[in-house]
Amino acid sequence: MGRDDDVAAWAAHDLGRVIVSADEVAARVRELGREITRDYEASPPLLVCVLKGAINFMSDLMRAIELPVEVDFMAVSSYGAATKTSGVVRIVKDLDVDLADRDVLIVEDVVDSGLTLNYLRQYLGARSPRSLEVCALLLKQGEQRVEQDLKYVGFSIPSDFVVGYGLDVNERYRNLDAIYTFVGEV
Ligand code: IMP
Ligand code: MG
């Protein structure tokens, strides 16, 4: 356990064990930033943050990349208030910039069934980017219903529902620095 992993009293009731500590997240994000810097040196990417879950990851990752990246945001909704995917993806906020001939890197919080990402890839792929890749902080082991081709993955984790570092349940717990299992009532 590193800094800020001791669960604050206001959250302790609903949280189980630490899945990824704040220090582990920080170290891995620095590594990913180095890899992306190296891989995209010739052509700095457009980072597309998938709101809201990827906000913490995006914020740290973009500062770990030593290139003139651009950033944009989109919001999708696939879960409603429950902890299992409905399989139905809705675009809540679309991008502001044109993707034609851009090297686009989707920044996602977690790939669970993969349905959200599948939908996003098709949706964004139709706009003629030069390349379209994915950087996912978390990949849930054995849960993908469709084969996923992820260029960067932070951590492979068990299939428990997790919160913290951007990930929520009913919009709460995004403001924790570590990632924990959620053991409360939904
Ligand atoms: P998928 O479509 O099943 O891959 O689900 C992906 C989306 O569901 C992510 O972008 C998250 O917003 C949300 N999600 C999936 N698993 C979790 C979790 O354990 N905690 C919080 N959100 C999750
Ligand atoms: Mg979410």
Rounded Cα distance between 145 and 137, Å, is 18
C-alpha of residue 135 to centroid of ligand 1, in Å: 14
Residue 186 confidence (pLDDT): 82
Residue 169 confidence (pLDDT): 95
CA-closest candidate to residue 85, choices 145, 135, 18: 145
Ligand 1, atom 3, lies closest to the CA of 113
Residue 23 confidence (pLDDT): 98
Q: What is the pTM of this model?
A: 0.93
Rounded Cα distance between 71 and 81, Å, is 28
Closest ligand, as measured to the CA of 112: 1
Give residue ranges with CB within 6 A of ligand 1. Answer: 53, 78-79, 85, 108-117, 161-163, 167-168
Query: In the chain, where are the structural domains located?
Result: 26-159
Stated as kind and residue range, the H or E segment containing 124 is helix 115-125
CATH code for the structural domain at 26-159: 3.40.50.2020
Residue 148 confidence (pLDDT): 83
Measured between alpha carbons, how far is residue 38 from residues 29, 45, 72, 101, 132 in Å?
14, 12, 21, 20, 17
* Residue whose token pair is 């913490």: 56
For residue 115, which atom of ligand 1 is closest to its CA?
2
Q: What is the Cβ-side half-sphere exposure of residue 157, based on CA atoms within 13 angstroms?
A: 25
For 50-106, how does the pLDDT look when each residue is reduced to its tens digit (9 = 90+)?
Answer: 999 999 999 999 999 999 999 999 999 875 555 666 667 889 999 999 999 999 999
CA-closest candidate to residue 155, choices 60, 36, 45, 21: 21
Interaxial angle between packed helices 22-39 and 55-64, expressed in degrees from 0 to 180 and rounded to the nearest 10: 50
Rounded Cα distance between 66 and 80, Å, is 36
Rounded Cα distance between 168 and 164, Å, is 6
For 16-35, how does the pLDDT look when each residue is reduced to its tens digit (9 = 90+)?
Answer: 999 999 999 999 999 999 99
C-alpha of residue 15 to centroid of ligand 1, in Å: 17
